[in-house]
Structure 1
Amino acid sequence: MKKIFESIFGEYDQYVFYPLMATLTAAVGLIVFDNKGFQAFFDTINKWLIFNFAWGFQVSALIVILFGFWLAFSRYGKLKLGKEDDQPEFSTLAWVSMMFSAGFGLGVWMWTGAEIMYHLDTSAMIANAGQTGKPGGVPMALQSVFMDWGIHGWMLFAVGGLAIAFPAYRLGKPINLAAGLYGIFKEKAYTNKWGKATDVLGAVASLGGTAAALGFGITMIGFGLSSFLGIEVGFTGKVISMIFLVAAFVASASSGIKRGIKFLSLVNIWMSAALCIFLLIVGPTNYIFTNIFEALGLYLNNFFSASLWGDAGTFVNGEWQTRGWNNWWLVFFILWWASYIPFCGGFIARISKGRTIKEYVLGSVILPTAMTFILFGIMGSIAAHIEISGAFPIYESIKNDVGSTLYVILEQYPFASITTVFVFVSTIIYGITTYDSTTYFISMQVAKGESDPKITMRILWGAVIGFFGLVSVSVGNFDAIKSLAIVCGAPFFVVLIVYMYSIVKMLKMADTGDL
């Protein structure tokens, strides 16, 4: 049986394949037969983690950020991810486009105009300033958006990816999560129980995180199908959206990373840029720039205090009790990004050969953060302007269907029939690139760190993720999958701390010529 499997899908690691498949089978079974119990179980753990250890996750994320920048500007920053004569495999634009499309693409399109409105209405910081729902609260709301989607997430990915890429490219080792432990266990990292457990845990977290992202995408695609083709947004539209994404992914997967993911990522970046330029021209240009730069100033000025803010000044009946806003936003996002560390970190490692540590860290953190800020700054500022000026009750629309946000924004401006189709197509492309890069990463883990796993292996895991998504759609339970991702992602903070120790050990080994 093993020989038949390997003749079709290529060599695989049974210690990763079977535990991963067993975990997914159990999850699907629980979703189908005990949907409410499954969600309640992981929701309980999720809330317990968030409301009891928020400070720990905030401190840990800040430590990772400081560690990453220290690496970039230390004497180790000149070391290459590879041999001294290795050159980057991809241009800087293609490199950044792929990591952005793989990591945040779907989530950004989903929340780009919506999140600012939630912060404006519910932020505890804005409430303390007496600016809830008021124009003066808009820059503060955008600052909170920048906190959620900015440096925190990208640095988590960068440090996780560095731990994998450094030994992989300097020693020609497999590109899997176990590689990040090389500084501690050396060659045993690939065979001992800790390495295998890291591979499996990371793959499960990646599946959960991607399933949640696909849930966002399906919501937007479903709304688009309803608008353009009259297909019901509910169950039927979501199933059609999921099937379409699976089919499109298969076409992309057959093209390989250098053509499929790279080409689509570049297309989407140019599409996103074109839409931003259009909205800057037809929208409230002066207000957009003013709000972005004011929010950026707040972000830079308050970065450390906002990173560690915990609502410690709120007491109810003499007892300290947080209002929950920070826990459900920044802390939740930190945990969600932690679930992306294996997938995004591993994928960034795969496409970063030949870059110095300094170029790698700054390029994979600053550049995509800047792109995210531009998108959120433009769309969020426009959404707030529409709401506060009374042009349209956009917040009500968002609360009814968050997937409608970008479409509703575009309908307030000329050429809506064209721009909404434009966004619909872009959303599909982001869905394909997220899907393709995830399957590429998981296939690498199962295929013993093979940098270019067989197409059949990638299609196999694409089908598995697609089936997982269809089951979730059928029972309407992407929230449960999202909670599963958070629960699996939380332990990766521990793994990341170990990775940091391993990185330091590897850098010292590089000093002595052993790496």
Structure 2
Amino acid sequence: MTHDDDPILTPGQDNKQILGLDFHNPVFPVSALAILAFILYALIYPDQSNSQMTAARGFAIEHFDWLFMIAGNVFVILCLALIVLPLGRIRLGGPSARPEHSTISWFSMLFAAGMGIGLMFWSVAEPVAYYTDWYGTPLNAAPGTPEGASAAMGATMFHWGLHPWAIYAVVGLSLAFFAYNRGLPLTLRSAFTPLLGQHVRGWVGHVIDIVAVLSTIFGLATSLGFGATQAAGGLNYLFDIPNTLGTQLAIIVGVTAVALYSVWRGIDGGVKLFSNINMVIALVLLLFVIFTGSTLLFVNGLWDTSVAYLTHILPLSNWVGRDDQTWYHGWTVFYWAWWISWSPFVGMFIARVSRGRTVREFLMAVLLVPTLVTVVWMTAFGGNALAQSADGVGALANGIGEVSLAMFQMLEQLPLTTLTSTMAIILVLVFFITSSDSGSLVIDSITAGGKIDAPRSQRVFWATLEGVIAGILLYGGGDKALGALQAGAVTTGLPFTFILLVMCVGLVKSLREEHRSLSRLAPA
């Protein structure tokens, strides 16, 4: 249902066609120039750029921790409220709209884009890190004790459960509603039309979209760069393949090549295909860990993990008078800034594949189902890792060394280590591919003025650029250059927190208008 015969924005408005590209002016050129300038700066002055960006990130986390925490809580409460309120019956795309993707494929795509790669690395490393006091403990729980284990699992679920998914859900729902129910372009600025009106066509809207592009491309490039070093570490650990710059660059080239194939094929032929492959491999690996580890430990752990999460969620959500400042700022506030900086990318991708779902169905699939899946995943992998650490078994008995190796060290204590570790590496790489290609589709949509049918060459441009940025920074500046880019991406979480809070106001206002309009049209 469209509420305006002459919408403020239309897809592709103000676009320019140059060299076969159909890009929005000035979002595309300004974004490209800003990316080029930052990359050159990070390459020429890696130490200086790293220290400056790290300082900016530290300032945001230290001085605005209260804002990140309050915002995260607001997003969760809003999403839960919309599930139970009558507004949840509103359908994205209007009453007659129907889903474009099966429920399984839909969930696979949103989960792969959202945080699949993170769960591969942190489901083992994070609870063991908290349990062994690697960098502080949550709520100052005593390390190496049953209480410490409970706090470790509760805090890990806190970081991967309702709060991060609520951040993605708010952005995804806002963009989906304004694109499919109000006929606006699928860009971040569209969510601000209820509050900004015609101003979204000017520089206010341009800045919102440009920051979204920069946040997305920087986040994806740093993840690909660091992920290549982590995957190379895993290959070295398992197969003695040298963990050299050449190996890392080869991984980036391989991932980028497959991502290019995927974005060329589009949603159905590329992203959906690889997302479904991801979920099958992940399910097989999950079942293997459950049944070859201690099945009884897993069954009991499901209850323990759920109770630990519910027990600790309120104290961990608090931002006043925290005694665990080192842990709190180094983990929770950093995570919230990181999730928020990724929200334009993940939220927009989720919106793109969610037409035809009701608000209630959307929020249950984006918020509740992933949280339940994460409970199962964390119990299987994190529970096994904690048991090995507590029992003094294997490498994890000594705590966390390299985060990238924690998963392989846990699998080393189970049967068929080489097979399962190879599956884990494949899963990591395919998660990188799905993140890269879904991110490229999102950036393509933003820089094309909200069009979802921009030329294929434009998608290829952005997918290639992600790999090029990661490779150049890794080659020219190493971890310091990548660290500067990552710190810059996390720092964008601060302005985006304000943007998301304003977005919530506009979303609720427009959903209420939509509900009143549908109520008037309903038969008596």
**Do Structure 1 and Structure 2 share a fold, with TM-score over 0.5?**
yes
Cα 1:302–1:139 change in 2 (3 A) is: closer
Cross-structure match for 1:97: 108
Once residues 415 and 229 of structure 1 are traced to their aligned partners in structure 2, the CA distance between those partners, rounded to angstroms, is 14
Match status 1:6 vs 2:10: no
Cross-structure match for 1:318: none
Q: 1:101-129 CA deviation, whole Å, 9 max, x = no partner?
A: 11212111111211111111237555744
Would the aligned equivalents of 2:22 and 2:455 in 1 still touch at CA under 8 Å? no
The one-letter amino acid paired with 1:271 is I
**1:135 shift after superposition:** 4.0
The one-letter amino acid paired with 2:425 is F
Equivalent runs, 1:453-492 vs 2, <5 Å? 453-474=454-475, 475-477=477-479, 478-492=482-496
Aligned residue for 1:6, secondary structure, equals strand
Once residues 242 and 23 of structure 1 are traced to their aligned partners in structure 2, the CA distance between those partners, rounded to angstroms, is 23
Once residues 150 and 82 of structure 2 are traced to their aligned partners in structure 1, the CA distance between those partners, rounded to angstroms, is 32
Cross-structure match for 2:219: 209
Once residues 356 and 370 of structure 1 are traced to their aligned partners in structure 2, the CA distance between those partners, rounded to angstroms, is 20
Cross-structure match for 2:268: 258
Match status 1:112 vs 2:123: yes
Would the aligned equivalents of 2:71 and 2:497 in 1 still touch at CA under 8 Å? yes
Would the aligned equivalents of 2:106 and 2:353 in 1 still touch at CA under 8 Å? yes
Would the aligned equivalents of 2:225 and 2:252 in 1 still touch at CA under 8 Å? no
Cα 1:253–1:473 change in 2 (3 A) is: same
Cross-structure match for 2:145: 134
Greater alpha carbon shift after TM alignment, 441-450 vs 248-257: 248-257
Would the aligned equivalents of 1:139 and 1:295 in 2 still touch at CA under 8 Å? yes
The one-letter amino acid paired with 1:79 is I
Aligned residue for 1:12, secondary structure, equals strand
The one-letter amino acid paired with 1:306 is L
How many residues align structurally? 501
**1:302 shift after superposition:** 3.1
Which runs of 5 or more residues in structure 1 are unaligned?
315-321
Once residues 14 and 202 of structure 1 are traced to their aligned partners in structure 2, the CA distance between those partners, rounded to angstroms, is 15
Would the aligned equivalents of 2:224 and 2:467 in 1 still touch at CA under 8 Å? no
Cross-structure match for 1:22: 33
**1:453 shift after superposition:** 2.9
**1:75 shift after superposition:** 1.7
Once residues 85 and 486 of structure 1 are traced to their aligned partners in structure 2, the CA distance between those partners, rounded to angstroms, is 40
Cross-structure match for 2:5: none
**1:422 shift after superposition:** 1.2
Cross-structure match for 2:500: 496
**1:10 shift after superposition:** 3.6
Alignment TM-score, normalising by the size of structure 1: 0.92
Cross-structure match for 2:194: 183
Cross-structure match for 2:441: 440
**1:423 shift after superposition:** 1.2
Once residues 145 and 264 of structure 1 are traced to their aligned partners in structure 2, the CA distance between those partners, rounded to angstroms, is 27
Greater alpha carbon shift after TM alignment, 299-308 vs 42-51: 299-308
**1:224 shift after superposition:** 3.6
**1:283 shift after superposition:** 0.5
**1:313 shift after superposition:** 5.8
Cross-structure match for 1:64: 75
Would the aligned equivalents of 2:232 and 2:248 in 1 still touch at CA under 8 Å? yes
Q: 1:462-486 CA deviation, whole Å, 9 max, x = no partner?
A: 1111111112222223222221111
Cross-structure match for 2:160: 149
The one-letter amino acid paired with 1:40 is S
Cα 1:388–1:215 change in 2 (3 A) is: farther
Equivalent runs, 1:157-168 vs 2, <5 Å? 157-168=168-179
Over aligned residue pairs, what C-alpha RMSD do you find? 2.1
Cα 1:106–1:447 change in 2 (3 A) is: same
**1:173 shift after superposition:** 2.1
Match status 1:506 vs 2:505: no
**1:233 shift after superposition:** 1.4
Once residues 467 and 138 of structure 2 are traced to their aligned partners in structure 1, the CA distance between those partners, rounded to angstroms, is 40
Once residues 134 and 142 of structure 1 are traced to their aligned partners in structure 2, the CA distance between those partners, rounded to angstroms, is 12
Aligned residue for 1:164, secondary structure, equals helix
Would the aligned equivalents of 1:110 and 1:217 in 2 still touch at CA under 8 Å? no
Cα 1:327–1:214 change in 2 (3 A) is: same
**1:292 shift after superposition:** 3.5
**1:9 shift after superposition:** 4.2
Which of residues 51, 69, 73 is equivalent to 2:84? 73
Would the aligned equivalents of 2:395 and 2:409 in 1 still touch at CA under 8 Å? no
Cα 1:371–1:280 change in 2 (3 A) is: same
The one-letter amino acid paired with 1:208 is F
Aligned residue for 1:398, secondary structure, equals coil
**1:138 shift after superposition:** 1.4
Greater alpha carbon shift after TM alignment, 97-106 vs 284-293: 284-293
Match status 1:358 vs 2:360: yes
Would the aligned equivalents of 2:57 and 2:490 in 1 still touch at CA under 8 Å? yes
Once residues 430 and 106 of structure 1 are traced to their aligned partners in structure 2, the CA distance between those partners, rounded to angstroms, is 5
The one-letter amino acid paired with 2:122 is W
Cα 1:460–1:232 change in 2 (3 A) is: same
Once residues 89 and 257 of structure 1 are traced to their aligned partners in structure 2, the CA distance between those partners, rounded to angstroms, is 11
Once residues 498 and 215 of structure 2 are traced to their aligned partners in structure 1, the CA distance between those partners, rounded to angstroms, is 14
Which of residues 369, 372, 375 is equivalent to 1:373? 375
Aligned residue for 1:114, secondary structure, equals helix
Greater alpha carbon shift after TM alignment, 253-262 vs 297-306: 297-306
Cα 1:243–1:148 change in 2 (3 A) is: same
Equivalent runs, 1:384-423 vs 2, <5 Å? 384-394=386-396, 396=398, 398-399=400-401, 401-423=402-424
Match status 1:344 vs 2:354: no
Match status 1:82 vs 2:98: no
Would the aligned equivalents of 2:129 and 2:400 in 1 still touch at CA under 8 Å? no
Once residues 210 and 120 of structure 1 are traced to their aligned partners in structure 2, the CA distance between those partners, rounded to angstroms, is 30
Which runs of 5 or more residues in structure 2 are unaligned?
1-15
Aligned residue for 1:349, secondary structure, equals helix
Once residues 438 and 108 of structure 2 are traced to their aligned partners in structure 1, the CA distance between those partners, rounded to angstroms, is 12
Would the aligned equivalents of 1:140 and 1:295 in 2 still touch at CA under 8 Å? no
Alignment TM-score, normalising by the size of structure 2: 0.91
Aligned residue for 2:26, secondary structure, equals helix
**1:56 shift after superposition:** 2.0
Cross-structure match for 2:8: none
Aligned residue for 2:301, secondary structure, equals helix
Aligned residue for 1:451, secondary structure, equals coil
Which of residues 30, 34, 51 is equivalent to 2:45? 34
Q: 1:428-463 CA deviation, whole Å, 9 max, x = no partner?
A: 111100000000100000111112332211110011
Aligned residue for 2:70, secondary structure, equals helix
Cα 1:313–1:490 change in 2 (3 A) is: closer
Once residues 515 and 285 of structure 2 are traced to their aligned partners in structure 1, the CA distance between those partners, rounded to angstroms, is 47
Would the aligned equivalents of 1:106 and 1:216 in 2 still touch at CA under 8 Å? no
